[in-house]
Amino acid sequence: MNGRCVITVGDLGEFGVVARIAERLPQGGTVLLGPGDDAAMVRSPDGRVVVTTDLLIEGRHFRRDWSSGYDIGRKAAAQNLSDIVAMGADPTGIVVGLGLPADAATGWLDDLTDGFRDECDLVGASVVGGDVTRCDLVVLGVTALGDLGGRAPVTRSGARPGDVVAVTGRLGHAAAGLALLAAGEKGPAELLDAHRRPAPPYACGPRAAALGATSMLDVSDGLLQDLGHVAEASEVGIVLLPEAFVISESLEEAAGRLGVDPLGWILSGGDDHALAATFPQSVRLPQEWTVVGRAEAGKGVQVNGRSMAYEGWDHFRE
């Protein structure tokens, strides 16, 4: 292995709008060749590259009247970078495919670009290229790259009976924020901001891998649904303890306003990009992690002794 990875990213720098993006994006130490050619070149010291991709469509994943260009850039980068750390890897770079309507102003595009840059800065990654085209709606296709640093990847299939199930990061906040916005509510601001801009616990992913996590994933479609993937891939049952979840004051306030049970947001709400993982019982977890259940022989996910459907985000359901 030569420790280099060539990524085809379109002719970034050929068109004025793309050149404008490129000049606003400083490159980190992992980038050997950045925007300006037909492809970029990124360091891969481990010799293996972790890759993930996501698509965000205006009106489906975000609304420009609810979120600024900066918020959307942060969110689009975050949901991909979170997938990288959920494998136990360190993010190195992202490439962005961007469809823009005619009414997207230059200032909005600058804000979007700044959002990408600032979110990548949190993990030491860089925007290494991409492509732009005309589109009726804003469409973002983001691909993120990561390096394992010699570690084995942490997959969904390693959980074993007797493991503890733990989570780190916010749960239910983004779903509550979306419900509040849809209802025309103006707060709590903490929840509205959580919908607009997630805050993944990036550092916890590689640390969990080093601690010996047996399985891990990013909670993007709801905890029940995502842990259901772990249960299926690992051929175990997962039992969750609802009393273990901390319900914040802002969630309580929002639930009171809308007349719902806040635990529903925690169990089924997506887009917070928290991390859920399983660990051997012998592992002493840092305070960032909260044990919320256990893996055992069986199938599916149970809460309070009841088997739960994997309710969560469904891209093909209205």
Known binding positions: 38, 52-54, 61, 83, 130-131, 156, 218, 220-221, 271, 313
Q: Annotated binding site for ATP: which residue ranges?
A: 130-131, 156, 220
Backbone angles phi, psi at 207, to 5 degrees: -65, -40
Phi, psi for residue 55 in degrees, rounded to 5: -125, 130
Binding residues for substrate: 61, 271, 313
Tell me the C-alpha distance between 220 and 273, whole Å: 5
How many residues are there in the chain?
318
Bin 15: left if φ > 0, else alpha if -120 < ψ < 50, else beta: beta
DSSP annotation string for 50-72: EEEEEEEEBTTTB-TTTS-HHHH
Strands lying side by side in the sheet with 31-33:
4-8, 39-43, 31-33
**CA separation for the pair 89, 84 (Å, rounded):** 6
Task: List binding-site positions for Mg(2+).
Answer: 38, 52-54, 83, 131, 218, 221
Q: For the beta carbon of residue 121, count every other beta carbon within 10 angstroms.
A: 13
